[in-house]
Amino acid sequence: MPNIKDFNILPWILILLCPYTVELTSQDQHIVEEFNIVKQWNKGDKLYPPNWEALDKRPLPVWYDSAKIGIFVVWGVYSVPSVYDEWFWCFWKEKKIPKYVEFMKKNYRPGFTYPDFAPMLTAEFLDTDEWASLFKSSGAEYVVFTTKHHEGFTMWPSNHSFNWNSMAVGPKRDIVGELVTSLRKKDLRVGLYHSLFEWFNPLFLQDKANNFTTQEFVTTKTMPELYELVNNYKPDLIWSDGSPAPSSYWNSTEFLAWLYNYSPVRDEIVTNDRWGTDTMCKHGGFLTCSDRFNPGKLQKKKWENAMTIDKVSWGFRRNAKLDEFLTIEELIASIVSTISCGGNILINVAPSYDGTIQPLFQERLKQMGSWLQVNSEAIYGSFPWKHQNDTSTPRVWYTEQQIKTNKAVYAITLNWPDKYLYLKSPIPVQDQTFVYFLGTEGQLEWTSPPQGGINITLPYIPYNKMPCHWAWVFRLEGLQNG
Ligand SMILES: *[C@@H]1O[C@H](CO)[C@@H](O)[C@H](O)[C@H]1NC(C)=O
Ligand SMILES: *[C@@H]1O[C@H](CO)[C@@H](O)[C@H](O)[C@H]1NC(C)=O
Ligand SMILES: *[C@@H]1O[C@H](CO)[C@@H](O)[C@H](O)[C@H]1NC(C)=O
Ligand SMILES: *[C@@H]1O[C@H](CO)[C@@H](O)[C@H](O)[C@H]1NC(C)=O
Ligand SMILES: *[C@@H]1O[C@H](CO)[C@@H](O)[C@H](O)[C@H]1NC(C)=O
């Protein structure tokens, strides 16, 4: 095969095949080669044209729905001041919110700038293998990492973020690369968060001043970065964010068409809905709608509840109070209500500037993992049932599993039922319905009271023999409405 790099028509091929006229580097030539290989596999396949109607029809790769639980790691230069939240720069310099301004005035020398924080992102304790082990032990199946937040600092040595990246300043490391390698070793799916816009990038501000009739920022920054991330790190998920302009400005449909048709990850890649002011909760892969979206009822399209263990912030806060963190009971309640309604849950933890993850976050993740170990069959690969929560007993959520030709319904109760658990929604059948309590042996007795439903008798369980804490799961087999 002739070396494609020898052809001087290459720039023209690139322009024709790729909607972006980025400057050619050897890296881009590599993209073109990959494109040609994929094109052969693709022969006869239907390609996705760059419009939302067509892109929205792409089936979501199955791994995502089955995985249910992801960990969201928000880490960047804002992790250095680590007060209030990750919007620090914007709230200090653009919005000039007094508490941010005061904090800087009181604690830093005059003239201190936000970029001055970057060298202090030391990461001296960062061991991404340790992070990956922690995430694995939480029971999560994917991890989403902030490769670039709205501050514009790239956590990989991007060729499109000169001197404002983790190789040039601060850690002097390819954080994305290290983390991706560690996650793959632990069989965790890799999600890359990427902010389309940047608060203070002059090119973005100029496009904005032009009412987004120019695309200088998109052409020279956003798109080259996204291609670079995909081609270098081959993610399973792109979690796009920060889109205060229409998707036509961002060229989102063109990027997604490339991602789904030709990219090296076209079969497994999953995306979200934050691709422009016109797309949130409407277009894209799964829907995130708003932050901490948890509607409490079944949704028509696959969705994700992106939420935080620190209720106040996504980035690390040194000044956080204990009661601002979700308790494990609250966290399990969020997980269970989300999954019952067909959602995935993306749980945020916030590392410190030095690469450590505080013990409180670690504890929540480990607690979650211990609960999931006992109750995994009700969670991973499950589907929403007919009823999402019980019609009579509060704080009972349902999931369903297809086990070969049989179905099992799982009732997950957030209140310890003591002697009896009455459920109104399941319709039992005498001699055909069997009830099990996950983490214990044997079947449970039940009766069918006159008002309908099922009344389950709990065995006596000594406190130290309790299979798990915080929420308890009952498997119901052979229901009439199973
Ligand atoms: C940046 O460009 C150089 C030279 O083309 C290339 O070797 C390197 O892989 C690129 N870096 C990234 C992150 O793509
Ligand atoms: C942008 O739109 C505003 C309001 O419609 C208008 O006043 C302004 O002149 C426009 N600016 C440019 C550069 O087109
Ligand atoms: C956006 O897509 C259009 C249509 O394919 C193309 O003409 C334009 O050059 C693209 N712009 C950028 C910034 O990539
Ligand atoms: C079931 O969930 C819905 C929606 O979240 C709620 O309105 C309803 O009160 C719940 N039912 C019970 C019995 O708690
Ligand atoms: C369930 O059964 C127990 C024991 O017979 C009874 O005390 C309780 O009232 C029943 N609950 C319902 C809702 O029927």
Are 309 and 450 contained in the same domain? Answer: no
Residues 416 and 460 in one domain: yes
Helix 175-185 and helix 128-137, axial crossing angle in degrees, nearest 10:
40
CA triplet 216, 221, 223: central angle to 5 degrees?
Answer: 95
**Which residues neighbour 38 within 8 Å (Cβ) at sequence distance 6 or greater?**
261, 262, 263, 264, 266
What's the CA angle centered on 155, arms 150 and 157, to 5 degrees? 120
Looking at the structure, do residues 414 and 278 belong to the same domain, yes or no?
no
Does ligand 5 have an atom closer than 6 angstroms to the CB of 122? no
In a domain, residue 239? The reply is yes
Residues 278 and 154 in one domain: yes
Question: How far, in Å, CA of 180 to CA of 129, rounded?
Answer: 10
- Which residues pair with residue 36 across a beta bridge? none
Task: Examine residue 285 and state whether it is found in any structural domain, yes or no.
Answer: yes
Residue 391 in domain: no
For 153, 252, 254, 270, the CA distances from 257, given in Å and listed in that order, are 27, 9, 5, 13
Q: Is 20 in the pocket of ligand 3 (CB under 6 A)?
A: yes
Q: Which residues of the chain have pLDDT under 70?
A: 1-45
- Give first-to-last CA distance, the chain, whole Å: 58
**Which residue's CA is the nearest one to ligand 2's atom 12?**
210
Which CATH number is 448's domain given?
2.60.40
Q: Let me know if residue 456 belongs to a domain.
A: yes
Pairing of strands 434-437, 443-444: antiparallel
Distance in Å, CA 403 to ligand 5 centroid: 31
- Within 6 A (CB) of ligand 1 lie 25-27, 157-159, 228, 232
**10 plus 89 within the same structural domain:** no
Residue 468, domain member (yes or no): yes
pLDDT on residue 26: 45
- Do 414 and 373 reside in the same domain of the chain? no
What is the DSSP code (8-state) at residue 386? S
Strands (E), 292-433: 303-308, 343-349, 396-403, 406-413, 420-423
Between the CA of 449 and the centroid of ligand 5 the distance, in Å, is: 8
Same domain? 298 vs 435: no
CA of 417 to the centre of ligand 5 (A): 12
Residues 79, 353: contact at Cβ < 8 Å?
Answer: yes
5 three-class SS: helix
Q: Looking at residue 125, what DSSP letter applies?
A: T
- pLDDT given for residue 12 in this prediction: 36
Cβ proximity of 297 and 69 under 8 Å: no
Ligand nearest to the CA of 294: 4
Residue 403's pLDDT is 80
The pLDDT of residue 45 is 65
Q: Which residue out of 390, 420, 425, 444 has the highest number of ligand 5 atoms within 8 Å of its CB and is therefore the one to mutate? A: 420
According to DSSP, the residues that pair with 435 across neighbouring strands are 444, 476
Ligand 3 neighbourhood includes 19 CB (under 6 angstroms): yes
Q: Which residues are within 8 A (CB) of 205 and not within 5 positions of it... i.e. 6 or more apart?
A: none
318 plus 464 within the same structural domain? no
Domain count, the chain: 3
CA–CA gap between residue 290 and residue 293 (Å, rounded): 5
Q: Which residues contact 104 (CB under 8 A, 6 or more apart)?
A: 92, 112
Quote the pLDDT of residue 16: 35
> What is the domain-level CATH number for residue 312?
3.20.20.80
Phi first, then psi: what are they for 306, rounded to 5°? -90, 115
Instruction: Quickly list DSSP for 399-456.
Output: EEEEETTEEEEEEEESS--TTEEEESS----TTT-EEEETTS-SEEPEE--TTSSEEE
| 357 and 422 part of one domain | no
Residue 46 lies in a domain: no
Q: Distance between CA atoms of 288 and 136, rounded to whole angstroms? A: 23
User: Which one-letter DSSP state was computed for residue 220?
Assistant: I
Nearest to 360 by CA among 310, 319, 315: 310
Q: Is the dihedral angle over the CA atoms 252, 257, 260, 264 positive or is it negative?
A: negative
Residue 368 · residue 326 · CB < 8 Å: no
For residue 174, which atom of ligand 1 is closest to its CA? 13
Ligand 5 neighbourhood includes 452 CB (under 6 angstroms): no
Instruction: With beta carbons less than 8 A apart as the criterion, state whether 192 and 238 touch.
Output: yes
Q: Is the dihedral of CA 76, 82, 86, 87 positive or negative?
A: negative
Range of the domain at 431: 396-477
pLDDT at 187: 98
Position in ligand 2 atom list of the atom nearest CA 210: 13
In a domain, 195, yes or no: yes
Counting atoms of ligand 4 from 1, which one is nearest the CA of 389? 1
Structural domain contains residue 387: no
Are both 140 and 252 inside the same structural domain?
A: yes
Q: Verify that 82 and 12 share a domain, yes or no.
A: no
- Give the model confidence (pLDDT) of 416-472 as tens digits: 998 999 999 999 999 999 999 999 999 999 999 999 999 999 999 999 999 999 999
Which H or E run includes 19?
Answer: none
In a shared domain, residues 289 and 422: no
Quickly count: other Cβ atoms within 10 Å of residue 390's Cβ: 20
